[in-house]
Structure 1
Amino acid sequence: MDTSLVFTVRRREAELIAPAKPTPREVKPLSDIDDQEGLRFQIPVIQFYRKETSQEGKDPVEVIRKAVAKTLVFYYPFAGRLREGRGRKLMVDCTGEGILFIEADADVTHNQFGDALQPPFPCLEQLVYDVPGSANVLNSPLLLIQVTRLKCGGFIVGLRLNHTMSDAAGVVQFMSALGEIARGMQQPSILPVWRREILNARDPPRVTCSHREYEQVPDTKGTIIPLDDMAHRSFFFGPTEVAAIRRLVPPHQRQCSNFELLTACLWRCRTIALQPERDEEVRIICIVNARAKFDPPLPAGYYGNAFAFPVAVTTAGKLCEKPLEYAVELVRKAKGDVTEEYMHSVADLMVTSGRPHFTVVRSYLVSDVTRAGFGDVDFGWGKAVYGGPAKGGVGAIPGVASFYIPFKNAKGEEGLVIPLCLPSEAMQRFVKELDNVLNTTPPTSAFIVSSL
């Protein structure tokens, strides 16, 4: 998409929207998965909607504003504020104060964004406005929603979520409920379930699994990616690109999933691009949704964090010099580590180790949101043209994470778009390496769909 696009957004002052009816005044502890250090940040989501003739005369700002108040009656913890207790335990004080809501107008049309809507988005900070002083994890609004009308009659919904409250599946559940109520339903089709105690540490806690994802690794060689001179690009992987990568693994491994294949390939190319020493340990962390790993599975309406950060660790030399199937096998095994016992073991580790952050040094984290359903959220104007993460990265740490986002390119091919953030020189090396893998012509490869 055209990342050079510049436009003006006029915002009304942010307001607090409280639940439409009185809600319980209580304190609700988060789970011991929710309140780990690595989730204590705000995550932005963005949805683009086209003009819909059947909605002529309706204002999306008013429709969504009213729906927020009604939806918060069911999701009233979102209207509260986080407090921290003993042992860094987080809990929601259900005060009913409300969430932040911003009404805005932009002097731009949907078409000016171009066909290929994907991160990085131009003027993102204008579309999900970070209200000064509102982004603290504690004692701040847990949700911020900005609805921006476009000149063409379309609109953009930007949402900022305190990640300790929900994962991708949880926030989509809330947004889907908001959409249902915006379309006239009296209550969500899936009612929210709190039940955070399911993912609490056991008594006494007992760490039964290996959790190298939480090892505290010293950054002796300054390899945490620098904030200055960062290049942001998104890469498209459709059937052609996936087939080209799949040809690089032996026949007995070709039944591996697209996720395993792409993750192995990106991890390897990215490591080559960053040029660590051969003997340095490098890590791939795969986000794994654990909802179905429980017996019985977690309740359908559970909207807390229910995923793990399983990791594979090897040396840069082995990863870059061995064939691709070596990395594929490491990714496959890491994903397979996640079980119900693994989740209980993580919760126990959080309580016994002070709720550590996952390892960031020489780590690459990937999260597949293709099945999360961001694009299906409908406020009455149909499904989103784009729906999903507003940018790559995790919290204040750029370059560590990539999301796998469902995407249809200009030719109508369905695939994934994957945002990546690297220092500029490393990005050039990454593009060249990936070009070699895909056997295309550098440096203007068709798989780069945007850059900033």
Structure 2
Amino acid sequence: MQPNIKFNVARKNPELIAPAKPTPHEFKALSDIDDQEGLRFQIPVIQFYRRNLSSKEKDPVKVIRDAIANALVSYYPFAGRLREHANRKLVVECNGEGIVFIEADADVALQQLGDALYPPFPYLDNLLHHLPATAGIINCPLLLIEVTRLKCGGFVLATRLNHTMTDAAGLVQFMSAVSEFARGDASPSIPPVWERHLLSARNPPRVTCAHNEYGDASAEGSGAPPDNNLVDRSFLFTAADISALRSSLPPHLRGSSTFDIATACTWRCRAISLSLNPGDEIGLSCIVNVRKRLNPPLPEGYYGNALVYPAAVTTAGRLTTSPLQHALKLMRNAKSQATWEYAKSVADFMVMRGRPCLKTRGIYLVSDVTRGGFGEVDYGWGTAEYGGPALCGVDLVPGVVSFALPYKSTKGEKGIRFTMSLPPNAMDKFVNELETAMATAHKSLVIKKSAL
């Protein structure tokens, strides 16, 4: 758990940063993956940077403000505003109005915020200002960026993004362009590519795959947290933990990734903690980036949403009484569905069904940002101490989404950390179930080694 630090922040009035040079005034349609209901929300990310002696004469606020203006010349749609056209189709009016930028100073040092930086951040409101007038989807700024200088010489960069515009990979691409300008480059190393038609519906649209991740809210099951009184925590799987879980699997599943194994374990423990009816249908959706899965792959530089959410479906009774391998097999089979045809079928499904939302009950959604790249962005002060999601979940669907985050200890030991939001009683059960699962796996591994 992060320390509940109290500190003061002095903010200047928000300003709009427009592109540094004139840009086209035009309308650009989002793809049918972009403008689905399930992405019509704002999502915050955060990056923490330590003092860098080689950059001590530079002001991060000025450097980053100027770099944003330069990056917006190429990424000028971010400086526009979304308009909603017929059939709720979202279109960007590229008018150069700009993104919101806030300059701030805090009377706290980075080391006071904790040795290990990861969500939940109880002090997030101190670092990312909530401006209700800018928090909508239509006719609002598409990005809000706040840079807070710390008294130690480090700084924090917090961003709030309109998710319909881009996914994690696209946002990192934009941030990397900003960082390149901040370090003195004349242009982005990866030119941005719009081409949103590549993930739009076919003509005529035709749904060719089952999409269990979407559904009629009135017909959904009861497999999600029943209220909004949620506790946020995150849980670490060390390399030793993953090895122990892997050893419990049959040989043909032991080559599964760290993410897959940890997700399957988390899904099973979460389902047990919610005390569901055995016959309840529940699902797991892993967000899959399809940039390189399409045929042909999306062009390098594409910064739209290139995500699908294929769902593994089972019953609560089957999942909670079966060994880990059952959850893992279901999950791997679901992820394998994320093909070119599946992505096009999702786009067609959006158009034919009126852009439905993802299920919010009976489903658990995991976003893998272990290789997202937020922590690798260098504005001239080195890489981030932490870069990634600022929350444990998504406010639009409380208790439904977890993030898988990269973790490295001060000794260089790597692992994977999962965020979790659950009602208090369920969180207590989840902690117990996870501890029991890990203890059993480690004990089994010890017995196997001693038998050799």
- TM-score w.r.t. the length of structure 2 is 0.95
- Name the CA distance, whole Å, in 2 between partners of 1:335 and 1:76: 34
Worse-superposed segment, 221-230 or 10-19: 221-230
Amino acid at match of 2:176: S
Give the deviation of 1:252 after TM superposition.
2.7
Contact 2:278 2:317 (8 Å CA) reproduced:
yes
Give the deviation of 1:215 after TM superposition.
2.1
**Are 2:156 and 1:152 aligned?**
no
Alpha-carbon RMSD across the aligned residues, in angstroms, is 1.5
- Name the CA distance, whole Å, in 1 between partners of 2:108 and 2:347: 46
Map 1:417-432 onto structure 2 (within 5 A).
417-432=417-432
Map 1:59-98 onto structure 2 (within 5 A).
59-98=59-98
Worse-superposed segment, 256-265 or 47-56: 256-265
Give the deviation of 1:86 after TM superposition.
0.6
Give the deviation of 1:396 after TM superposition.
2.2
Contact 1:219 1:361 (8 Å CA) reproduced:
no
Give the deviation of 1:223 after TM superposition.
5.4
- Name the CA distance, whole Å, in 2 between partners of 1:287 and 1:314: 18
Worse-superposed segment, 95-104 or 130-139: 130-139
Give the deviation of 1:218 after TM superposition.
3.1
- Name the CA distance, whole Å, in 1 between partners of 2:350 and 2:220: 25
Q: Could you list the runs of 5+ residues in structure 1 that have no partner in the other structure? A: 441-452
Give the deviation of 1:59 after TM superposition.
0.5
**Are 2:270 and 1:265 aligned?**
no
Alpha-carbon distance change, 284 to 118 in structure 1, aligned in 2, over 3 angstroms: same
Contact 1:143 1:160 (8 Å CA) reproduced:
yes
Aligned to 1:450: none
- Name the CA distance, whole Å, in 2 between partners of 1:10 and 1:219: 48
Amino acid at match of 2:67: A
Give the deviation of 1:205 after TM superposition.
0.4
Runs in 1 of length 4+ with deviation above 4 angstroms? 219-224
Amino acid at match of 1:248: S
Worse-superposed segment, 412-421 or 98-107: 412-421
Aligned to 1:112: 112
Contact 1:205 1:348 (8 Å CA) reproduced:
yes
- Name the CA distance, whole Å, in 1 between partners of 2:107 and 2:369: 30
Give the deviation of 1:395 after TM superposition.
3.6
Contact 1:172 1:372 (8 Å CA) reproduced:
yes
- Name the CA distance, whole Å, in 1 between partners of 2:138 and 2:312: 33
Aligned to 1:326: 326
Worse-superposed segment, 285-294 or 411-420: 411-420
- Name the CA distance, whole Å, in 2 between partners of 1:266 and 1:218: 27
Amino acid at match of 1:145: I
Amino acid at match of 1:349: F
Contact 2:224 2:363 (8 Å CA) reproduced:
no
Aligned to 2:245: 245
Aligned to 1:137: 137
Aligned to 1:355: 355
Map 1:201-350 onto structure 2 (within 5 A).
201-218=201-218, 224-350=224-350
Alpha-carbon distance change, 279 to 217 in structure 1, aligned in 2, over 3 angstroms: farther
Q: Could you list the runs of 5+ residues in structure 2 that have no partner in the other structure? A: 441-452
1:247-270 residue CA offsets vs partner (Å, 9 max, x unmatched): 322223211222221111111000
Give the deviation of 1:428 after TM superposition.
0.3
Amino acid at match of 1:241: D
- Name the CA distance, whole Å, in 1 between partners of 2:335 and 2:255: 15
Percent identity over paired residues? 57
Contact 1:234 1:419 (8 Å CA) reproduced:
yes
- Name the CA distance, whole Å, in 1 between partners of 2:219 and 2:113: 40
- Name the CA distance, whole Å, in 2 between partners of 1:345 and 1:244: 38
Aligned to 2:448: none
Contact 2:221 2:282 (8 Å CA) reproduced:
no
Give the deviation of 1:183 after TM superposition.
0.7
Amino acid at match of 2:270: R
Amino acid at match of 2:361: V
Contact 2:282 2:315 (8 Å CA) reproduced:
yes
**Are 2:57 and 1:45 aligned?**
no
Name the SS of the counterpart of 2:133 in structure 1: coil
Alpha-carbon distance change, 284 to 106 in structure 1, aligned in 2, over 3 angstroms: same
- Name the CA distance, whole Å, in 1 between partners of 2:272 and 2:217: 21
Name the SS of the counterpart of 1:156 in structure 2: strand
- Name the CA distance, whole Å, in 1 between partners of 2:298 and 2:222: 41
- Name the CA distance, whole Å, in 2 between partners of 1:388 and 1:410: 18
Contact 1:6 1:122 (8 Å CA) reproduced:
no
Amino acid at match of 1:291: R
- Name the CA distance, whole Å, in 2 between partners of 1:122 and 1:381: 25
Contact 2:221 2:361 (8 Å CA) reproduced:
no
Alpha-carbon distance change, 220 to 287 in structure 1, aligned in 2, over 3 angstroms: closer
- Name the CA distance, whole Å, in 2 between partners of 1:39 and 1:433: 32
